[in-house]
Amino acid sequence: MRTKLMSLAVFAGLILSVAPAGAHHSFAAEFDINRPLKLRGTVTTMEWVNPHSWIHIDVKGADGKVVSWMVEGGSPNALLRLGFNKSALPPGSEVVVEGFQARDGSNRAVGQSVSFADGRKLFLGGTAEGAHGDTDKNDK
């Protein structure tokens, strides 16, 4: 495990040494590639905060118990430029989150891809002024 942590550290160092950096922080350090997850839940709130937005969802398990999760997303700036605002994701919206769980095992995840229940991707459908390409090429 020590080796794994070390290689993680080296990886984080590499990411941070290239310019431009991929993001404000290393997602590899925060989320665990070995803990992929797919959550279907109901939005309770969306935090439009910097440096990253957080979507809070309630997920009902097979046993009927409801578990709350926090999902990390992109910065609000770009979402505003895409034409979205605080009412874009009202409480009660059903969403499907694909991503990875936090390394500390808490109920936090990166929302690598977030969709509405009918499959439509959240936030897609707009590009910034003068933009060029499609908006979905990074999908897996």
If the CB atoms of residues 38 and 81 are measured against other proteins, the closer one turns out to be 81
For other proteins, which is the closer residue by CB, 22 or 91? 22
Query: Cβ of residue 113: shortest distance to other proteins, in angstroms?
Result: 5
Check if the beta carbon of residue 55 is closer than 8 Å to that of residue 76: no
Cβ neighbourhood burial of 54 (10 Å; 0-12, 13-18, 19+)? middle
Residue with smaller CB distance to other proteins, 4 or 65: 4
| β-pair partners for 41 | 95
Pairwise CA distance, residues 51 & 27, whole Å? 13
Instruction: Tell me the closest approach of the beta carbon of residue 8 to other proteins, in angstroms.
Output: 8
C-beta of 104: minimal distance to other proteins in Å?
A: 4
Please compute Rg for the chain using Cα positions.
Answer: 16
